[in-house]
Amino acid sequence: MKRKSAGIKALLLTLGIIIALFSFSTLQAQSKTAPIHKTTSDMGWWDNARFGMFIHWGLYSEAAGEWDGKPIKGIGEWIMNSAHIPRAQYEQLAAKFDPVDFNASQWVKIAKEAGMKYIVITTKHHDGFSMFKTKASKYNIVNATPWHKDPMALLSKASREQGIKFCTYYSIMDWHTPFQQAADTNAIKPTYNPTTLTEPAKYVSYMKQQLHELISQYHTNLIWFDGGWLKNWTSGEAHEIYNYIHSINPSIIVNNRLKFDVGDYGTPEQKIPVRGLPGPWETCMTLNDTWGFKTDDDNWKSDTTLITNLIHCASGGGNFLLNVGPTSTGIIPQPEVDRLMAMGRWLKVNGEAIYGSHRTPFNIALPFGYATEKPGKIFLEVTQWPQDGVITVPMKNKIVKAYLLANPKHQLSTTRSEDGMVIHLPKQGPDPIASVVVLQINGAVETN
């Protein structure tokens, strides 16, 4: 019996060691691939900003939606793929790219007057052309174009001078690099999307060199990744890049397009979640139908649509990243500027309801528009001005004071009903698109 007991004990001890070793190796594997839940990124300024400018600018701006004298369907920055242009032919655009009208201070001024708080610009899109001075490749705007200037250095400097946060877009998918293979390698009519990562170690090294340059040379506050749907891109590489960025500067914000749950915030595109998303998020959207400049795209969104979209994002606790597509000479098209200035005029009066605001405290849609919140204040963005002059807010709180943000001295009367607090408004709102009603309350919002 003693021998059997000793044998059983030894067997159990061996099994325990095996289980412990297996558990340790499993934990090690999980630690390399588990989603990032904690971040050192400086989300404070981003959470308060609510409104930013996206800029798509590159060799595709020179093509402007045409190839061989023919218009190409699809978005402008995808023309290399959409028109099936061989790499050597597409490279020839660099010799023509000469943005003599580029003015960094003017671009930043437009963003600032629009009420935008940050800029995100394409430093390398899917076409693989670097719009900055880089030692990683000669295929960049300083070495390969007749312009020989570094727009990122100029924009970074102008942004700091005007109090705008400078941020950079970077595509993981790269149609030019030798470390990725096109989906269809036909020499005459290649199709690039989606590429396959053929030499991961070399491409990650290339990425790291360029990301280090973006951080050290231009002091980027945020890196906006894209193109993470390429084949053979793995969770390990996504985590490696995220951790590498934070090893250089722990405060840099990274979006979620490294994939595999890596990143600091969500990025819905061309749509706004009806009730927002849990956690930080940002909708990016075009002013017309393209990101990169196309001469034939005049399908502009109206001032009403754009201002309402901004309000909708803020009401859901998110940011609105609105795109401009400059021409190859460096001009932001006037129809884009006109719409941005309209948004800036609205924000100059009503910005308190947007900047630094929190998502709506109400769990139901409001028939008159939207709501945002700050401690002690509820902002009602009224996009449907009532014909009967009253709106009902589904809340129980007593209202200390109610007024129009455009005219704080003129107080509005309020009454209570079974459905909530009733606000009595003038016959017309001060703004034809969206007028903001401010409710001052004590304590947290108590909804009906």
Q: Each residue of 220-241: pLDDT tens digit?
A: 999 999 999 999 999 999 999 9
pLDDT at 208 over 70: yes
Instruction: Report, in this order, helix, strand and coil percent for the chain, each rounded to 5.
Output: 35, 25, 45
pLDDT tens by residue, 301-348: 999 999 999 999 999 999 999 999 999 999 999 999 999 999 999 999
Region 403-414: what's the mean pLDDT?
97
Region 274-299: what's the mean pLDDT?
98
The DSSP letter of residue 155 is: H
Region 273-297: what's the mean pLDDT?
97
User: For 369-441, which CATH superfamily applies?
Assistant: Golgi alpha-mannosidase II (2.60.40.1180)
Q: Does domain 44-353 sit in CATH 3.20.20.80? A: yes
Q: Which has the closest alpha carbon to 402: 374, 387, 423, 421?
A: 423
Q: Which two tokens stand for residue 107?
A: 């671009």
pLDDT tens by residue, 70-103: 999 999 999 999 999 999 999 999 999 999 999 9
Question: Which residue in this structure is represented by tokens 């009367």?
Answer: 413
pLDDT bracket for residue 1 (50, 70, 90): very low
42 HSE (CA, 13 A, CB side): 11
pLDDT bracket for residue 53 (50, 70, 90): very high
- In the chain, the percentage of residues whose pLDDT exceeds 90 is 91
d(CA 259, CA 12): 42
| CATH 3.20.20.80 domain span(s) along the chain | 44-353
Query: pLDDT at position 411, please?
Result: 96
Strand positions, DSSP E, 42-151 = 51-55, 66-67, 70-71, 118-124
pLDDT bracket for residue 39 (50, 70, 90): confident
Which stretch of DSSP H or E encloses residue 321? strand 319-324
Query: pLDDT at position 242, please?
Result: 98
d(CA 318, CA 226): 19
pTM of the predicted model as reported, rounded to 2 decimal places: 0.92
| Mean pLDDT taken over the chain | 93
Tell me if 433 sits within 8 A of 304, measured CB to CB.
yes
pLDDT at 38 over 50: yes
| CATH 2.60.40.1180 domain span(s) along the chain | 369-441
Query: pLDDT at position 228, please?
Result: 98
Give the SS3 label for residue 118.
Answer: strand
Region 373-384: what's the mean pLDDT?
98
pLDDT at 388 over 80: yes
pLDDT at 402 over 90: yes
Q: Which two tokens stand for residue 249?
A: 């500067």
Contacts of 446 (CB under 8 A, 6+ apart): 395, 396, 397
Region 416-432: what's the mean pLDDT?
97
Whole-number Cα distances in Å, 395 to 113, 242, 292, 424: 36, 43, 45, 15
pLDDT at 425 over 90: yes
